[in-house]
A and B are shown apart, each in its own frame.
Chain A
Amino acid sequence: MISSKKVLKIITGSYLFLFFGYLFLPLIFMGIVAFNSSSLPQVSPWEGFTWHWFHELSQDSRMWDALTNSLIVGVSVVCISVPIGLAAALLLTRLQLKSRDLLYALFVSPILTPGIILGISTFLFWDRAFAVMGGLWTAIVAQSTFISAYCMLLIMSRIQRFDRTQEEAAFDLGASHQQVFFKVTLPFLKPALFSSVALAFMQSFENYNTTLFAIGFEQTLPIYIGTKLRQFISPAMNALAVIFIVLTILGALIYEYRRMMERRKEAERKKQAKALKKAMAVQPVPAMQGA
């Protein structure tokens, strides 16, 4: 007789196995292909291990151009989105507006709009208003419309944990608005700003749908990949995928490690605070020497 607990365990186990199998097997197959000598992108027949496809990829000058463009676009998007996200977050958290909810909905709407719409509308707008026909600039603007909203959400969640009296204290001690912002508020927001920078860059670096419509004849890395994948596929693309996957795994590990460290620190701090309180309640106050 098997207990119902055991049954539950087996069901959970197989579900987890299937779920992660579903997520990872396709990626693993894709990775293996990169090392197969066969000139068709396939796992089998296995024709021997090779680094050849990585070499071929590195010879592709269009890939390097696309990568350069992606870096330019990514950095520009960061420079536009983070300041906008910060401003929007400040506006929403600092002012007691009656129309706050409406503004909030408006600000997050780019995230909820299909990416291609943002690309199309930005392209049309710049063409019509400034006669700018696609290119890196329109791609940067189009991506920034929704990436700013992501930055705003990230920064907002940190601002909401900020103790405003710190700002008042600084103000009271003679600081100007700018000094308060740069010496007190900004240092507190730093972690959220760093995450916004990372998030904005990553979102930009891998964006396809929006960019495709906005960029015209230029290419970012995802556009390059998309074009390649629609044509005859060489395993060099798998080599590129492997590079992406390795970088992603590294990134995810670092991200999770830092998150865990932060949680541990928080728990530690809480513990210490508790211990301190206890100690203070018991210990007599040390005698003071008058001056």
Chain B
Amino acid sequence: MRKVWNQAKHEFGPIGLAYVLIAVSVWMLVMVVAPQLIMLDFSLHPLLFPDEIGGPKDVWTLQNYEILFSNRLHMIIFLKTIWSSLLVTVFALVICYPISYYIAKVARGASVGWLMVGLIIPYWINELLRLFAWQIILADSGILNQAMLWIGIISEPLNFRAGNGAVILGMAYAYVLFMVFPLYNALESLDRNQVDAARDLGASWFRIHRRIVIPHAKPGIAIGCIMTFMLGAGTIAAPQLLGSPSSFWFTELIYTNFETANWNLGAAYATILALLCLVFMAIMLAVFRVSLKELSR
């Protein structure tokens, strides 16, 4: 410890060291850790009237968490959130893997630049607007209904937004590109010669990907999946814009609790959401045997 301190003084000088230490500890302690602890604290207390706070009813309790397990509706919503985030993640992986591989290893010259621009534009456009685009497509008088009516598949416009489908479609569209860039980064460092060598040895297309390309892309796959799942499970924009009043999502549950000033239950559900993402991340890192460090590439 003493050695590190001396090294730090040596490296940064007194003013530099003060800057680094203050900036980082304000960030970590005041902006990240303390707020999380406060949120945890809220979640472990019951909802009380202001004059009851500090009184005999102000105790530590798990009752907010228990509500999730006792309320069937909430549980269904929670499971739906997990299920649809997984669905979106798998969908994103399936449709993004080929394009990432194509840009990283097949395409050459100027076309790489154009393909990248083609990915960056939709990626940079605000997520709300990306969801809005689907609002327009899926509206009762939207382009999809009109097209289907014109072809004659249906005779009455369908209400796409009644179920959960629209939200999942929107989620997929809004977050699919968070899979592309980690995958692309991982695949770009793959040595093309390896693939060529395998092809020379007569390995089939399927085998090359399974034995060489995918193992190499593992860190990218893991990080892409973690990001996509996290964004899917944590989105409030998608259900707000594309959901119907009859279908509720977990993030909306948290939001209504905040609107009705039941911060304690809201905090508990938020903590559960955070834990869910943490567990998913741990599973991905373990399954793909990668460490978080790969994120910096």
Contact = CB atoms under 8 A, between A and B. Distances in A.
Interface of A: 12, 15-16, 19-20, 22-24, 26-27, 29-30, 33, 40-44, 83-84, 86-88, 90-91, 94-97, 101, 104-118, 120-122, 124-125, 128-129, 141, 144-145, 148, 153, 156-157, 176-178, 181, 202, 206, 208-209, 212-213, 222, 225-226, 229-230, 233, 237-238, 241, 244-245, 248-249, 251-253, 255-256, 259-260
Interface string B149-181: 000000000000000000000000100010000
B234 interface: yes
B230 A113 contact: yes
A153 B181 CA distance: 15
B281 interface: yes
Interface residues of B, number: 87
B125 A244 contact: yes
B139 interface: yes
A248 B4 contact: no
Contacts of A238: 136
Contact of A95 (B8, B129, B139): B8
Nearest to B119: A23
Given A29-B136, A116-B236, A178 B15 contact: yes
B113 A30 contact: no
B128 A229 contact: yes
B119 to A, nearest CB: 8
Given A128-B38, A148-B27, A30 B121 contact: no
SS of B interface (majority): helix
Interface stretch (B62-70, B94-102, B213-221): B94-102
Given A42-B136, A88-B24, A108-B295, A12 B102 contact: yes
Contacts of B137: 26, 29
10 contacts: A27-B130, A87-B20, A91-B20, A96-B4, A120-B39, A153-B295, A177-B16, A181-B16, A208-B236, A226-B128
B121 A252 contact: yes
